[in-house]
Amino acid sequence: MKPIMEIDNAVKTIYNDNQNLNILDGINLKIYPKDFIVVLGTNGAGKSTLLDAITGANSITSGKILLNDDDITGKNLAKRSKFISRVYQDPKLGTSPRMTVAENLLLAKRRGLPRRLRLRHLKDNMESFEKLTADLPTLDNRLNTFTDNLSGGQRQTLSFLMAIIQKPELLLLDEHTAALDPQTSQELMELTDKTVKDKELTCLMVTHNLSEAVKYGNRLIVLKKGKIILDLDTEAKAKLKEEDLLEYF
């Protein structure tokens, strides 16, 4: 099976305290179709920097990033956003507060299309948006609610829906449940897991939560000081327990 994405010897170097520091230090990673990869690591391990490198939010110093055999290393964030979606830790990121839930979903549905003046046709999309949110108590009957009036959990659920509405080539989840209360976090993780499986998405999820790392996904990667020090496949991950991961922290 050919990988959707291949990261080849990626290095990200910054100048800090009068010396060069590799935040990413020779990352080699192949991401295959339908992979749900959980990325684990302490603060400063390079997790968010890795996602920045993939999206183009922060370019790598050396190495290559291939998407479906296409070298996207030099492509900017806007060009990569047609194929790669990301949900951030902060519920306020990724949504427009002065637009309704439906307007945000319509904006996400048109991601990557040419921008020009035209009618929105919002009403034509309301039925599909109602179906999309029908089984979500957090957003059901709130399509006409301004996003700024939503709770953190509701807003993060909206961000997730916006990220998957076009079925991206690669979905990136950057600790997307970390800022939520335990109950809301669990509900969003269950929605995430179900959606990734049902829609057969390819996903890379960063987390600090050991129980989430063990429970979800078919692969587990541990980052430390910019290096991948552990990459477990489905069989090895199935045998994993939380205490097995403590030695890496």
- The per-residue pLDDT for range 52-76, each reduced to its tens digit, is 999 999 999 999 999 999 999 999 8
- Say what the pLDDT of residue 171 is: 97
Q: DSSP for 166-192?
A: T--SEEEEESTTTTS-HHHHHHHHHHH
pLDDT truncated to tens, each residue of the chain (249 aa)? 899 999 999 999 988 777 888 999 999 999 999 999 999 998 889 999 999 999 999 999 999 999 999 999 999 888 898 899 999 999 888 888 999 999 999 988 877 555 554 546 788 888 889 988 887 878 878 999 999 999 999 999 999 999 999 899 999 999 999 989 899 899 999 999 999 999 999 999 999 889 999 999 999 999 999 999 999 999 999 888 888 888 777
Amino acid (one-letter) located at 68: N
Contact 99, 147 (CB under 8 A): yes
- Say what the pLDDT of residue 114 is: 55
**Which strands, in side-by-side order, build the sheet including 84-87?**
84-87, 170-174, 203-207, 36-40, 219-224, 227-232
Which stretches of 110-209 are DSSP H helices?
122-133, 152-164, 182-198
- Say what the pLDDT of residue 59 is: 92
User: Could you tell me the pTM of the whole model?
Assistant: 0.91
- Say what the pLDDT of residue 246 is: 83
- The residues near 121 (Cβ < 8 Å, ≥ 6 apart) are none
- Bridge-based pairing of strands 19-31 and 5-16 is antiparallel
d(CA 81, CA 87): 12
d(CA 25, CA 27): 6
